[in-house]
């Protein structure tokens, strides 16, 4: 997989027929007609194809499939959304009605203060909305963050402070630490350190238990 098409990258495709794999649920075509974007998911890659997920209007409407690299028209990473400050172009009334979007300036300040200003970005419904321009997040949406970390060991000293700062924000924040070996939820990593235990590492081959 090309570096720019790493996990969590949002891809713009043309039509549902460009997707490969199993028969598509009926809602997929409607969803892509509304917002022709998919997200790179975590699994073992195939030659010339990218593993992606399609999201529908409902929470339970999620579909795992594949798209050929040549059928990708545009891509944007969560980190690129931050570099663009994409939320600043969202209609002010709409932005203020969605806490997970309204808080992004504050989140940017927190990540800058903790030394992660260039390596974080919004995922989930907020990232999807900022990339596609289609209203996706709701007033009850959590804010999913993706934070790229070179090595978990080097991140450990500041993990608790960052988690504490994010927990004080006026919206629930789920932060995922992405490394070259896999990903771990920030709160689980902090808990593992406090308790001297293990944590779940999400890898392309599936979840595995990792120990400190």
Which residues belong to the active site?
A: 142, 144
Q: Tell me which of 58 and 105 has the higher pLDDT.
A: 105
Q: What confidence tens digit (pLDDT) does each residue in 135-187 have?
A: 999 999 999 999 999 888 878 888 999 999 999 999 999 999 999 899 999 99
Looking at residue 198, what is its pLDDT?
A: 92
| Residues of the chain above pLDDT 90, percent | 70
Instruction: State the residue range of the domain holding 63.
Output: 3-76
Q: How confident is the model at residue 19 (pLDDT cuts 50, 70, 90)?
A: confident
* The residue to which tokens 């649920």 are assigned: 25
Are 164 and 175 within one domain?
A: yes
Q: Is the pLDDT of residue 5 over 90?
A: no
Q: Is the pLDDT of residue 133 over 60?
A: yes
Are 41 and 52 within one domain?
A: yes
Q: How confident is the model at residue 119 (pLDDT cuts 50, 70, 90)?
A: very high
Are 110 and 201 within one domain?
A: yes
Instruction: Output the average pLDDT for the chain.
Output: 91
Q: What confidence tens digit (pLDDT) does each residue in 30-77 have?
A: 899 899 999 999 998 888 899 999 998 888 899 999 999 889 989 999
Residue 107 DSSP symbol: H
Q: Which of 51, 76, 101 is the last residue of a domain?
A: 76
Q: Is the pLDDT of residue 100 over 90?
A: yes
Strand partners, 12: 37, 74
Are 167 and 72 within one domain?
A: no
Are 147 and 204 within one domain?
A: yes
Are 87 and 66 within one domain?
A: no
Total number of residues shown for the chain: 212
Looking at residue 2, what is its pLDDT?
A: 53
First-to-final CA distance of the chain: 29
Are 48 and 133 within one domain?
A: no
Q: Which of 76, 111, 133 is the last residue of a domain?
A: 76
CA 108 – CA 96 distance, rounded (Å)? 16
Q: How confident is the model at residue 91 (pLDDT cuts 50, 70, 90)?
A: very high
Are 62 and 84 within one domain?
A: no
Are 69 and 104 within one domain?
A: no
Are 122 and 45 within one domain?
A: no
Q: State how many domains the chain has.
A: 2
Are 71 and 82 within one domain?
A: no
Are 105 and 42 within one domain?
A: no
Residue 36: name the closest of 134, 121, 138 by CA: 134
């Amino acid at each position: 997989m090309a570096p720019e098409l790493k996990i969590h990258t949002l891809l713009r495709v043309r039509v549902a027929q460009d997707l490969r794999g199993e028969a598509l649920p009926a809602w997929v075509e409607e969803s892509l007609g509304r917002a022709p974007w998919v997200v790179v998911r975590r699994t073992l890659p195939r030659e010339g194809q990218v593993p992606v997920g399609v999201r529908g209007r409902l929470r339970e409407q999620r579909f795992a499939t594949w798209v050929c690299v040549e059928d990708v028209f545009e891509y944007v990473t969560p980190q690129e959304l931050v570099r663009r400050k994409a939320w600043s172009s969202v209609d002010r009334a709409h932005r203020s009605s969605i806490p997970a979007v309204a808080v992004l300036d504050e989140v940017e300040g927190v990540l800058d203060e903790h030394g992660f200003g260039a390596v974080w970005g919004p995922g989930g419904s907020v990232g999807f909305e900022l990339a596609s321009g289609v209203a996706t997040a709701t007033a009850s949406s959590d804010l999913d963050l993706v934070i790229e970390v070179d090595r978990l060991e080097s991140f450990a000293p500041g993990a608790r402070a960052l988690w504490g700062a994010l927990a004080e924000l006026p919206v629930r924040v789920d932060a995922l630490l992405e490394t070259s070996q896999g990903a771990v939820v920030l709160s689980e990593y902090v808990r593992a350190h406090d308790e001297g235990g293990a944590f779940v590492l999400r890898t392309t081959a599936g979840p595995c238990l990792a120990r400190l």
